[in-house]
A and B are shown apart, each in its own frame.
Chain A
Amino acid sequence: QVQLQESGPGRVKPSETLSLTCSVSGGFINTYYWSWIRQPPGKRLEWIGYVYSSGSTKYNPSLNSRVTLSVDTSKNQVSLTLSSVTVADTAVYYCSRGYYEGDLGHWGQGARVTVSS
């Protein structure tokens, strides 16, 4: 059974870059779509984007200029970086694995990130 575990700093300062890692165990990166989704406090889920195992990406246009997703098959990890963060980026961040575009079939527990000075 594949397991996904998000990790990263619990707190980031405004204007800095947020970096999160999704570690994959019990399975491999190849041939899957890896998505990131976040949920700000009291708000609905928001799709951030996906990276395919080949490295190709699609992003939410609202975040397009600030977000980068990547895969590291040697480490079995997927990464998210979000630049120039503001308090609006405070959220629980989830990674998810899917078989096709838009498939969010398997999720991690999530990592809570607070943007605060």
Chain B
Amino acid sequence: DIVMTQSPDSLAVSLGERATLNCKSSQSVLDPSNKQNYLSWYQLTPGQPPKLLIHWASTRQFGVPERFSGSGSGTDFTLTISSLQAEDVAVYYCQQYYSIPYTFGQGTRLEFK
């Protein structure tokens, strides 16, 4: 199984500041045949269904605010929130869908400083 490791486990950021969340996979999730990274980011907020933010490592899901961006390739990935808003306090998970079983990271809890 591909093991996904996120860092940090928790992060405190001031309103309006940048948040950077990291995700590392135990093996590459880049398909050389199509140059796609099989990596998604999700946001989990209490009382709300989990929300897909980013897929293919850097493609923003329809309706997701532009302050969310994804980057990286191979085994190292980053989710960046350019200017933290109140509604962004949540737990964020990365997930690989390169090989079965699809696996998730342990999550990063994002809080206000």
Contact = CB atoms under 8 A, between A and B. Distances in A.
Contacts of B77: none
B104 A47 contact: yes
A46 B52 CA distance: 15
A60 B61 contact: no
Nearest to B101: A60
A104 B101 contact: no
B105 interface: yes
Nearest to A95: B49
A105 B50 contact: no
A104 B107 contact: no
Given A60-B100, A109-B49, A103 B106 contact: no
B22 interface: no
A107 B49 contact: yes
A106 B62 CA distance: 11
A66 interface: no
**Among A4, A60, A62: residue with most chain B CB under 10 A:** A60
A107 B51 contact: yes
Interface size classification for chain B: 20 to 34
A13 interface: no
Size bin of chain A's contact surface:
20 to 34
B95 A104 contact: yes
B40 interface: yes
Interface string B35-67: 000101010000011111001000001000000
B75 interface: no
B104 A44 contact: yes
B71 interface: no
B107 A44 contact: yes
A107 B50 contact: yes
B52 A105 contact: yes
Contacts of A108: 49
B62 to A, nearest CB: 9
Contact of A61 (B93, B98, B101, B107): B101
